[in-house]
Amino acid sequence: MKKTIFLTGATGIMGYAGMTEILHYPDTPNQPAFPSTTLLPEETYTTSTIYQFDIN
């Protein structure tokens, strides 16, 4: 990895990163078999994401 000087003058190490955005099925409103994406005011939205990596 390469040491970098950023525009603010701070220094750091540049690396690589990935991003995952967890979404509902995109066609949920048109598919009755899919879970609903409607959240009513008295309901609480809860989600869980599990990242699993295997190094051989």
20-37 confidence digits (pLDDT tens)? 777 777 788 888 888 888
Closest-CA residue to 20 (of 45, 51, 46, 47): 51
Is there a domain that residue 10 lies in? no
User: Does the pLDDT value for residue 10 go beyond 80?
Assistant: yes
Is there a domain that residue 42 lies in? yes
Is there a domain that residue 43 lies in? yes
Is there a domain that residue 52 lies in? yes
Domain count for the chain, please give it: 1
**Mean pLDDT computed over 6-12:** 85
Is there a domain that residue 1 lies in? no
Query: Which residues form the domain of 33?
Result: 18-56
Is there a domain that residue 5 lies in? no
Q: Name beta bridge partners: 13.
A: 3
Please give the DSSP secondary-structure letter assigned to residue 34.
Answer: S
Please give the DSSP secondary-structure letter assigned to residue 28.
Answer: G
